[in-house]
Amino acid sequence: MNDIIRKTAREVVDLLRRGEVSPLELVKTLEEHVAEADAEVNALPIRFFDNARQQAEAMMKNHPDPKNRGLLAGLPVAVKDYNDVAGQRTTFGSPIYADSVAEESDAMVRVLEGNGAIAYAKSNVPEFAGGHTYNPLFGPSRNPWDLGRSVGGSSGGAAACLASGSAWLATGNDLGGSLRTPAGFNGIVGIRPTAGRVPRRTPAVPFDTLWVEGPMARNVADAALMLDAMIGYDEHDPLTRQERPTSFVASLDSYDAPARVAYSPDLGFLPVEETVRRITRDSLAHFTAMGSEVVDGTPDFGGAYDAFQILRAHLIATMHASTLERHRELIKPDIVWNIEKGLAQTTADLQWAERVRGALVHRVLDFFDDHDVLVVPSAPLPPFPVEWTSPQEIDGTELATYIDWIAITFCISLTGCPVVALPSGLDQDGLPIGVQLVGRPGSEARLLSYAQRFEQRVEIANRLPLAPRGVAGAIR
């Protein structure tokens, strides 16, 4: 393996700025690595290295001084297949859009390109949405820690290409846990930012705050760099702002350890496997070693499960009802169910869900008056067999819908709080188990500082496979 694949994104950007490596050389290196590593992982099914080479050559010609090539200085970046890259396919993992080619890059991708990113591939996704990355176009992505396991979803391809060394940085987005679940399953870092930090792709529902774009990386500091490069304003996304926050990379060492850390294994009501409870609880010793007071506690999430299901179904139906009318036979049953649920809901259902969400937001803000951070598992079970469509039960509790198993992330989506998801340990099979660090809205800089301190003690970032390992053991 080329040694540069093992370097962090910040190290590679530093080499780019010093002129010790060129964007063109990085594209070539990635192309060689992806051809080998992704043959089994299947994280990057849409590749356009020829176009990436052209962009690299143009950047080097138009900006001969490498210090003038933007924040990322020509670093290749993988883009999720829910986002548009000019001239490339955006399939959403669906046969309906198998040959759909974007005329221009969407707002988030344009911001990245303006900051010196070079897109070279699209990462695999579930069909339209979901917590497990497989689709009828490209099949499943496989976990680099164990090819027999799921990568999570919907940013599963993005997480897997990072863990297998096929990307230094990747884009993700998150409605109910799409950044956070894959981060936990693949041992990498994902950030669900406060709504409005990162512009979205001409959102069909512009004032929706459940769906956000965010960065994914192999470690916290790289994720902070990616977030710096993603933040921007777009007039088609009214939640975005023209004012820029202070650099998140520059702020990483600006905060002391959290004074008071709250931990909940289950938000007070959700089924969670004992392995996950044990590993995440044991990881709190890292905060205690920093001098933090660690307590058991969580805001009251009463009603959150049903409220999210209602609001999500409403959003899915708003976005995809017309697609259902035209292409019902080409849409997987889980998505058909979700759209129809949204269409069947009443005004009273939506009013109730909005009231529940509003009350939860206020309780959470009050909770953060006495706690610096809330720590919660990023998934209720370890990475499951890749052949499953979704878990059917957790810790003896049967699940009713295809997204029930990600309730531990989607309930937190309702709060509007930023979240840093990162690994907390490995289970008995050597598979990553992750946590969510949740903070009050707008507190990304502080959260990232806490996350970096935690990461340095957990020491999993430097143990990523960076190449597929094969099946690590019998599938459970």
For residue 125, the SS3 value is coil
For residue 227, the SS3 value is helix
44-54 tens-digit pLDDT: 999 999 999 99
Mean pLDDT of 260-279: 98
Grade residue 319 by pLDDT with cuts at 50, 70 and 90.
Answer: very high
DSSP code string of 18-76: TTSS-HHHHHHHHHHHHHHHHHHH----EE-HHHHHHHHHHHHHH--SGGGS-TTTTEE
Mean pLDDT of 329-352: 97
Q: What is the model's pLDDT at position 470?
A: 56
Please tell me what DSSP assigns to residue 77.
E
Q: What is the model's pLDDT at position 468?
A: 72
18-57 tens-digit pLDDT: 999 999 999 999 999 999 999 999 999 999 999 999 999 9
Residue 473 pLDDT > 90: no
Mean pLDDT of 421-438: 98
127-142 tens-digit pLDDT: 999 999 999 999 999 9
- Type of residue found at 326: R
**Burial (0-12, 13-18, 19+ Cβ within 10 Å), 363:** middle
Mean pLDDT of 365-389: 98
For residue 208, the SS3 value is coil
Q: Give the rounded percent of residues in the chain with a pLDDT score beyond 70.
A: 98
Residue 82 pLDDT > 70: yes
Q: How far apart are CA 431 and CA 468, in angstroms?
A: 13
Mean pLDDT of 150-161: 98
For residue 12, the SS3 value is helix
Q: Please enumerate in sequence order all residues whose Cβ is within 8 A of that of 97, keeping only pairs 6 or more positions apart, or say none.
A: 89, 90, 91
Grade residue 467 by pLDDT with cuts at 50, 70 and 90.
Answer: confident
Residue 471 pLDDT > 70: no
Q: How far apart are CA 370 and CA 209, in angstroms?
A: 25
Grade residue 469 by pLDDT with cuts at 50, 70 and 90.
Answer: low
Q: Give the rounded percent of residues in the chain with a pLDDT score beyond 90.
A: 96
DSSP H/E element including 158: helix 156-163
191-209 tens-digit pLDDT: 999 999 999 988 899 999 9
Q: What is the model's pLDDT at position 136?
A: 97
Q: What is the model's pLDDT at position 476?
A: 27
Mean pLDDT of 316-329: 96
Please tell me what DSSP assigns to residue 209.
-
Residue 221 pLDDT > 90: yes
